[in-house]
Amino acid sequence: MSAARLATVDRWFAAERVGNGIMRIDEPHVHELLRGNIWHVRGADRDLVVDAGLGVASLREELPELFANDPILVVTHAHLDHMGGAHEFGDRRAHDAEAIGAPRGTSIRGPELAEQLGLDEQLPDLLITARPAGFDPDGYRLRPVQATTRLGDGDAIDLGDRRFAVLHLPGHTPGSLCLLEEASGTLFSGDVIYDDVLLDGLHESDRGDYAASLRRLRGLPVRTVHAGHGGSFDGERLRELIDAYLGD
């Protein structure tokens, strides 16, 4: 579909509360490859936002509640569908191995993005099916940002009444992160694991690292997974997905 023929929509984001103080936000007019989840976690002292979408529309303008309680943004990895809106946040955290200041994939044109990332699949010319008012798809630019805090394995995100352990689980990208709330067994997994075919053949992927990360993840006390794409699932499904990938 050409950019000129795209329908204009009044609201770009869709949001749903999934319980336990957590809201899931996504972009329904985006191709499934790039239709990532943004997670908002309410905290007593501060809120947590995990990933920031494509940056096609302003999170601050459409979802001001994300910014009401001094949010900490954790960018799980430096792909455009996870860091596009990161520039809107003052507190941005990512792993040192993730090049959020010079991300590799920067286009919403399918063939161009496939070449940039090393995707071996046919993609439509344009990876959105509608546009917010005033947005020109041909003018899309991913805005690089700098992390205000660099995260490492074993660090913690403290919201006052909730605490998330930072897990460095490379493979999909060198600096891929997950966040685990050990008290509830809640995992925010980014693109380390989701209920679909895992992308492990990108230019910056490493299959050996990926396998080691998944073996580590399998042994953790995870009860609920909120992934970077698609729906949430339980710990049993997590282990099924890992076993299928590893061939165990």
Question: What pLDDT shows up at residue 2?
Answer: 56
Q: How far is CA 81 from the centre of its chain?
A: 7
Question: What pLDDT shows up at residue 5?
Answer: 81
Give every strand in the sheet of 14-19, ordered side by side.
14-19, 22-26, 38-41, 48-50, 72-74, 92-95, 149-151
Question: What pLDDT shows up at residue 170?
Answer: 98
pTM (predicted TM-score): 0.97
In a structure prediction context, what are the per-residue pLDDT tens digits for the chain, which is 248 residues long? 556 689 999 999 999 999 999 999 999 999 999 999 999 999 999 999 999 999 999 999 999 999 999 999 999 999 999 999 999 999 999 999 999 999 989 999 999 999 999 999 899 999 999 999 989 999 999 999 999 999 999 999 999 999 999 999 999 999 999 999 999 999 999 999 999 999 999 999 999 999 999 999 999 999 999 999 999 999 999 999 999 999 96
Question: Which domains occur in the chain, in start order?
Answer: 3-246 (3.60.15.10)
Give every strand in the sheet of 224-227, ordered side by side.
156-158, 163-168, 177-181, 186-190, 224-227, 233-234
